[in-house]
Amino acid sequence: MSVTAPQPESQSTSDLPEVNNGPEANSGPEVNKGNIEEIRPIPRITIQAFCENETVRQTLELSAGDRRMARAHVAVQMGGIPGAVEYYGAAPTPNLIIVESSLKGESLISELGRLASVCDGDTKVIVIGHLNDILMYRELIGHGVSEYLVSPVSMADIMTAISSIFSESENGVLGRMIAFMGAKGGCGSSTICHNVAWAISSTFQNEVVLADLDLPFGTANINLDQDPTLGIADAVFSPDRVDDILLDRLLAKCAEHLSLLAAPSSLERTYDFDANAFTQVLEAAQRGAPCVIVDVPHQWNAWTRQVLAAADDIVITAMPELANLRNAKNLIDTIGDIRPNDSKPKLIMNQVGMPKRPEIGVNEFASALEVEPLAVIPFEPALFGTAANNGQMISEADATAPVSDQIISIAQSLTGRAEPKVEKKSALDFLRKLKRKKSDKSG
């Protein structure tokens, strides 16, 4: 911190903040999340906070537990600026110190000067104050404080302030990661995942990395007609750090804006991984591309759970039958527990309207899960079968097929380009028409 030291000034103890452990602390103050959804993950930095009020402490604690701050190392304690000054008299300072203070004007500047005298030069400081005063804000920024937030602060206020200070750092901004998982094997999660990755890269000309995490049986290589010698296994089995140079060698270029981290799709080895086996390679991919699409196999273990926990968005694909409904419900509930500050996973209903199969109605299925499906994709064996056997995307097999438009709508919606075109009502109309066509043919 390079706060310019203020003129020495006698500090009367009456100016010192009082630590508030009053009734508020026991009654459990309401922590405001704020608009947290758009905030990018905070890089790997160390943060120490010294609060005065219980609400601010809890807001910081909850922020520290959020997935966006999972990379950062955060410690929160009470004590305000005096606590920080005492602590850093004997300890090295972290990348970022957050201090709460109810002081104002010269008293605050003077206290911050004491903090500056025990801070390393490159440590940043965020002050959470209680006075909404633009002059004071300017003065503090002029003295080298990185950000002055006015209490009450939300989790989003804190994370936005942190990411605005550190996103330009060498750690860089991470791209969005969208994870796809099926509610049951064979429901079409991988097919939709690959097609959506393709749509994002081709329709929006956005750089996309598709990572196939189904190491023994992955089909991204077949669907995208690739046969690379290197792929994701070379990263997860490599004992060295996955850097950008290694990542570049592992990526197979499928189209102008689409690169694949292919699965080996072989049974020469077995694939038992630790929880964080994919963390490095996925982060390297996120550093290199604004959009990383991950095909997560239908498995529940430490690493699939970890990948879902780290994703920005999760898409669950399900077929309209009972085991899918049960599994989708369990996934949505458990993911909700792991990611309490995120919106629910998105739901795609697939293979809807399979002849002769008794199905649970889409409305019934979705309302049991309390989610609006992002898309309802019909059972189209000729179209999907042709694409799969020819190593093509759906839009390559038939660009005029309504499913091709649905895939683009999903891509749009997931990248925030637009609301999904396929609303529940129109999707059902579409299905009704489809059924009518089928019964016309059979009748």
Q: Are 47 and 75 in contact (CB under 8 A)?
A: yes
In 3D space, the residue among 344, 342, 345, 346 whose CA is nearest the CA of residue 65 turns out to be: 342
Closest distance to ligand ADP from the beta carbon of 179 (Å)? 13
- 381 part of the interface to ligand ADP, by CB under 6 A: yes
Give least dist CB 187 to Mg ion, A: 9
Q: Is 374 in the site for ligand ADP (CB under 6 A)?
A: no
Identify which of 287, 248, 246, 261 has the alpha carbon closest to the alpha carbon of residue 197: 261
Nearest to 130 by CA among 192, 186, 62, 53: 53
Exposed e or buried b for every residue in 252-283, given b needs 16+ CB within 10 A? bebeebbbbbbbbbeeeeebebeeebbbbbbb
Q: Is 321 in the site for ligand ADP (CB under 6 A)?
A: no
Q: Is 365 left (phi over 0), alpha (psi -120 to 50) or beta?
A: alpha
**From 48, 191, 221, 327, residue interacting with ligand ADP (rule: CB under 6 A):** 191
Length reported for the chain: 443
Q: Is 323 in the site for ligand ADP (CB under 6 A)?
A: no
Residue 182 makes contact with ligand ADP by CB under 6 A:
yes
Strands 252-255 vs 258-261: parallel, antiparallel or unpaired: antiparallel
Does 304 participate in binding ligand ADP (rule CB under 6 A)?
no
Choose between 50 and 384: whose C-beta lies nearer to ligand ADP.
Answer: 384
Query: Binds 20, which of Mg ion, ligand ADP, none (CB < 5 to 8 A, cut-off by type)?
Result: none
Residue 389 near ligand ADP by CB under 6 A: no
Minimum CB distance to ligand ADP smaller for 59 or for 219:
219
Residue 380 contacts which entry, ligand ADP, Mg ion, none (Cβ below 5-8 A, type-dependent): ligand ADP
Check binding of 201 to Mg ion (CB under 5 A): no
190 scored as a contact of Mg ion (CB under 5 A)? yes
Please name the helix (run of DSSP H) or strand (run of DSSP E) that holds residue 32, with its range, or none.
none
Torsions phi, psi of 78, nearest 5? -90, 170
Site string for ligand ADP, 251-280 (x = CB under 6 A): ------------------------------
Asked if 384 touches ligand ADP (CB under 6 A), the answer is yes
Q: Which of 172, 435, 425 is nearest to 286 (CA)?
A: 172
Residues that bind Mg ion in the complex, under the rule CB under 5 A:
190
Residues that bind ligand ADP in the complex, under the rule CB under 6 A:
182, 185-191, 219, 350-351, 377, 379-381, 384, 388
